Amino acid sequence: MDHSQAYQSAKKRVEAKMSFYTHFSVYVVVILLLAIINLLTSPSVIWFHWPMFGWGLAVVIHALSVFVLPGRFAVTEKMIEKEMRKSHKQS
């Protein structure tokens, strides 16, 4: 892997992490706003936990895909390299 490929690979990983941080930040802000709205308008019926749990599951899956199972980048890069070698041999 040359320098430009290493740079592109690192860039993809950083973009994936930044995407998660943005997703998580938006989640926290929106859930806080929903909790405030819920508690101010109908404190006897708590409903904000439903979007919190549903969206929270998506945030957890996103975190797992970025931080725990980032192997998809390595697999993708190997597949790209293989395809590039094939097309280079055919040229």
pLDDT for 3 equals: 74
Write down the pTM of the prediction. 0.74
Q: Give how many domains the chain has, as a whole number.
A: 1
In a domain, 2, yes or no: no
pLDDT for 1 equals: 59
In a domain, 34, yes or no: yes
The candidate with the shortest Cα–Cα distance to 60, out of 17, 22, 20, is 20
In a domain, 78, yes or no: yes
Instruction: Examine the pLDDT at 50 and tell me if it is beyond 80.
Output: yes
Give pLDDT tens digits for 63-77.
998 988 876 666 676
Instruction: Examine the pLDDT at 42 and tell me if it is beyond 80.
Output: yes
Full domain range(s) for residue 52: 10-90
For residues 88 and 27, give the distance between their C-alpha atoms in angstroms, rounded to a whole number. Answer: 45
In a domain, 31, yes or no: yes
In a domain, 62, yes or no: yes
In a domain, 1, yes or no: no
